[in-house]
Structure 1
């Protein structure tokens, strides 16, 4: 996490969300390229996840611009929208983790690929890290 923000919570949490949403989108590509014989239905779902995560990433970037342009005089309405967006990002990451676990359980191509299982476990760990950091920042606000 970028601790140089100090108490600037909106930028701290948005920075985390922006970084991890970009990573999660990239992770969908990693999985597709690592498992070249991945079942078509799973490959298509990973492409859908890539689009969804990239859309969220862009949305977070727009919020960062809004906060920066406010010179950190964030209105209560914008502050609430930031919290709502981060909550959405957490839920999205939880769903992405569930899909990654489903891949490990149900994909024959992955079941025979030890490297893919290790990489997917690492991807899950990284998404769980984001969830933990974001929850910590959000809970500090209450």
Structure 2
């Protein structure tokens, strides 16, 4: 993320959260699709993650809409709510990565599917990228 957004930085961070949570949510569908025979516990886990990530994405959208309605003065600086959401989104992505690691290590359907392993590794890197972007804001 570039720092040229000035007073719009809070909106930019929320936009990043909204985008990456949407991506992670879609990634749960990709995993279920590319791994036929994915064990039922992992299918259920991916479905639950899809819902959880969607809730976080929806919260980011609500914050963006709220800031848009209140005007640029409210967007100057970071609100406690935006910082808390950013922190939560990072922790959520860290947990999602841990689930992906567990999936790769323990799912027969993933271990036996070279394409699925590559795709899950790519998904993992994308979540790591989001964490890096968000952590720059938190520092």
Category of TM-score, reference length = shorter chain = over 0.9
Partner of 2:54: 54
Taking the aligned partners of 1:121 and 1:23, their CA distance within structure 2 comes to 14
Ranges in structure 2 where 5+ consecutive residues have no aligned partner: none
Partner of 2:34: 34
Q: Deviations over 1:27-67 (max 9, x none)?
A: 00000000011000000110000011011111110001111
For these two proteins, the number of residue pairs brought into alignment is 138
Taking the aligned partners of 2:137 and 2:10, their CA distance within structure 1 comes to 9
RMSD of aligned residue pairs (Cα, Å): 1.8
Q: Deviations over 1:90-128 (max 9, x none)?
A: 000000000000000000111111100000000000000
Partner of 1:121: 121
Asked if the contact 1:2/1:12 (under 8 Å) is kept, the reply is no
Ranges in structure 1 where 5+ consecutive residues have no aligned partner: none
Partner of 1:95: 95
